[in-house]
Amino acid sequence: MKSIFSRFTKTDKISEALLNVAHNLVNSSEIRGVQNPERIAMYVIAESCRFIGLALEKKPAISPYIGDCAIECRYYFDTLWWLYLLQIGTDEKKIADLFPMVCYRMQMAIQEMSYSAPVTSNILGTMVDEANVNGETARAAHNIYVLGEVPDLYHDLLSRITISGIKEQNAILFSLKIHAATKRKDLDTHFLDYMSAVALTGWENPLLTEFEIDKCPIITLPDEFLE
């Protein structure tokens, strides 16, 4: 994926564009005024834009790999909203029924961005590419971030860290996956700590915290749609 994004050389401008998209989505009265699947799709897009934008500001050298970072953002923030709703007592069947509708609205939104925000759309396009994100990869992310199944690769490292709960564990795992996506050989602990802190703020986004699933229209889609 490096070749797709290597032409984006002005990383400060890219980060600014991504942060502007995130800001506009979170502060949109049109989005915040409704309770529907699109609101959660906009949450995932906003948090992904914000995270990548801040990561680029902090470490411009990751620019060639932001497409791969976007994929990891999709996994993390897609499961964060699921976990958040679980923790406030939402019935998991209702969350599962909402999930495919959120995925569909996310795909449509990113396609629509190709006209108004082409650079952002190009970066986020990897998030809805079936070669990267599909039923199998979604289940794998669910196992890690919702069920708390730590991949063998990270068992030893996490065993040496004091972790307060699944929120912090997920933020650390996410930052490690971002580190791997950027193909860096050295372990930059300061950057990892920064990414983990940014990832944790995803729990505070009002698009999520003010979402009322009981007021959200949910259509149960056939099983074949989920594959």
DSSP letters, 139-184, are HHHHHHHTS----HHHHHHHHTS---SHHHHHHHHHHHHHHHHTT-
C-beta of residue 65 within 8 angstroms of C-beta of residue 2: yes
Q: Which of 34, 73, 72, 74 is nearest to 207 (CA)?
A: 34
Chain segment 135-174, per-residue pLDDT in tens: 888 899 999 999 999 999 888 888 888 788 999 999 999 9
C-beta of residue 192 within 8 angstroms of C-beta of residue 182: no
What pLDDT, on a 0 to 100 scale, did the predictor assign at position 163? 83
**94 burial level (CB within 10 Å; 0-12, 13-18, 19+):** middle
Q: Which of 109, 99, 117, 98 is nearest to 31 (CA)?
A: 109
Q: Name residues of the chain where pLDDT drops below 50.
A: 1-10, 226
What pLDDT, on a 0 to 100 scale, did the predictor assign at position 221? 60
What pLDDT, on a 0 to 100 scale, did the predictor assign at position 144? 95
Between CA 53 and CA 89 the distance in angstroms is 32
Show the domain range for 61.
2-216
- Residue 27 domain flag: yes
What pLDDT, on a 0 to 100 scale, did the predictor assign at position 223? 57
Alpha helices, DSSP H, located in the chain: 2-5, 11-26, 29-32, 37-58, 66-87, 92-116, 118-124, 135-145, 152-159, 166-181, 189-200, 206-209, 223-226
Angle at 135 between CA 50 and CA 72, to 5 degrees: 25
- Residue 173 domain flag: yes
Residues in the chain: 227
- Residue 222 domain flag: no
Which tokens is 46 given? 């906003």
What pLDDT, on a 0 to 100 scale, did the predictor assign at position 188? 83
- State how many domains the chain has: 1
- Residue 225 domain flag: no
- Residue 226 domain flag: no
